[in-house]
Amino acid sequence: MTEQAVHPSEETFALHATARAFEQLRDIVKVPSNQREIPDLFVATDQLQRLSALIADVSDEVLFHVAADTAEPDPGPVILAYTSALVPAGRAMEGLTASAEQLGFLRRFAHVLPGAPELEEGREAAFLVVQDRLETVRAELGDAARGLHCAADRLSGAPPRSVAALSRSAGITNATAHTAPEPRSTAPARLAYTPAPRHGR
């Protein structure tokens, strides 16, 4: 029995809808190219709330399918799709929180007169961290969306969206399309502000 035969269309619709929610959030996360484009702390916390709500929605889907676990149809593929999306979503949350911390540091010293070399270095370091983390956030949100779209396409029996799009644009072969991507390795950026450990206070 195939996944296409046992999973109703509303399951694939829900997966695609959740993927689009990740894409919409990715599109509003902007990576600054200079210090003048650093996002406002209000914008950053709003993005944190949006992602938190989206992660809660995905978790709710997992809870619903686990609680309604039946032999027919097998909920395993749907549950796996949602739990797999939580991994890049969690990394995106980590990136947003790290970025928000740096924005808090910049806000704290926003009205301090320039001239102190240490402060200028701290501001530059904070900008680099924000830039690096927001690039990671966009990449991780995109990964979550692609994973959900591909899972929905598998359930419906349609060719994966990413494979179909690449095939049309680059003429790649099926073997190439299904090659697993190289794991992303992001070197840790130096934090401009690092709070002291709680036990040391």
pTM of the complete model: 0.73
- The tokens describing 87, both together, are 């991994």
What average pLDDT does the segment 143-151 reach? 97
pLDDT reported for residue 82 = 97
- The tokens describing 132, both together, are 């690096």
- Contact assessment for residue 128 and residue 189, using Cβ atoms and an 8 Å cutoff: yes
> What's the burial of 77, exposed, middle or buried (CB within 10 Å: 0-12/13-18/19+)?
middle
End-to-end C-alpha distance for the chain, whole angstroms = 60
pLDDT reported for residue 71 = 60
What average pLDDT does the segment 154-165 reach? 64
Higher pLDDT, 145 or 201: 145
